[in-house]
Amino acid sequence: MSKEILLESGTNELEIVVFNVGESILGVNVAKVESIIETLPITDVPNAHKNVKGVINYRGRVIPVINMLKALSKECQDPNEPRLLILIHINNNDFAIEVSGVEGIKRLSWQDIESPSHILISDNETPTTGVVKDNERIILMLDFEKILADIDPSLSLKESSRTRGLEGKKIVVAEDSVFLIKIVNESFIKAGAIVEKFSNGKLALDYLRQVSEDEVYCVITDIEMPVMDGLTLTREIKTNERLKSIPVILFSSIVSENLKHRGLSVGADGQITKPEIDKLISMVMEIGSQRNIKK
């Protein structure tokens, strides 16, 4: 899949690959997709996690294949045999998912994506980050970070070991994952910071417009969020004469060497891949101190 399909950064738009697993209509951000290929022979791996079907050899790389029916906690059999593999890259990890079909690519605004209701996420089993209304249909945006963490807990975000260094510093965090924002919040509080939490970029921006820029030590934002994404939030901050001095760090699963230019184009002061929470805190301390020196 060509990366040329990626949209200009900071427009609050995205493109998603819409695909089918059984009767489910699912979506994934194009930025996470390396390619879509015909299914390949899958080699079984003894004692693998129940959600891992095996591995494939793709251009000399050994890539694990996730059984999406099991990852989605569906007991029924897929009426359509998987015919395609979608190769995903997040958190510096590569894996493939089996799908029965790919409908195509859909362009939309982050405003078109609604946060999943508490009914969908209350049992902590549905790996869903958002809901897209597509005429009479519903497209579920998958939480691949949770799917990966269920398979390998070492890949999940864990509370930082830092216990000092940010005493009294106000940190604004924009993150739509209830689980992740809890971990980030607790980690920064442990380091002494005061944390203001928001579930999307618009809420964070509304808050920043109401406070003095000197009150805020740093903004940390995810990229993928309903209503307003992190790239748009960063652009809004950096083009605002009053707010532009506030450091902004992108903390996202889709930060990579190939995509860092998107963060740079909107003026991000730093970018780091989840789940490196200790590196994030170190970056906040470094960038925040540089801002104070400049003053």
Of 1.10.10.1800, 2.40.50.180, 3.90.79.10, 2.60.40.10, the CATH number of 3-154 is 2.40.50.180
**pLDDT of 152-210, one tens digit each?**
877 666 666 666 788 999 999 999 887 788 888 889 999 999 999 998 999 999 999 99
Return d(Cα 266, Cα 219) in angstroms, integer.
14
Q: For residue 103, what is the DSSP state?
A: E
pLDDT for 75 beyond 80: no
Provide the CATH topology of domain 157-294: Rossmann fold (3.40.50)
**pLDDT of 86-136, one tens digit each?**
999 988 889 999 998 999 999 999 989 887 765 555 444 557 788 898 888
- For 209, other C-beta atoms within 10 Å of its C-beta total 12
Return d(Cα 110, Cα 275) in angstroms, integer.
23
The answer to whether the bond into 275 is cis (omega within 30° of 0) is yes
Q: Where are the domains of the chain?
A: 3-154, 157-294
Asked whether 64 and 95 are in contact (CB, 8 A), the reply is yes
Two tokens at 247?
């450091």
The 3-state secondary structure of 19-67 reads EEECCEEEEEEHHHEEEEEECCCCECCCCCCCCEEEEEEECCEEEEEEC
Ordered alpha helix ranges (H), the chain: 68-71, 118-121, 144-151, 178-190, 201-208, 230-238, 260-265, 277-294
Give the pLDDT of residue 237: 97
Give the pLDDT of residue 117: 67
Burial class (CB in 10 A: 0-12, 13-18, 19+), 194: middle
Return d(Cα 14, Cα 229) in angstroms, integer.
9
Calculate the alpha carbon distances from 201 to 54, 185, 208 in Å.
38, 16, 10
- Angle at CA 248, nearest 5°, toward 210 and 95? 130
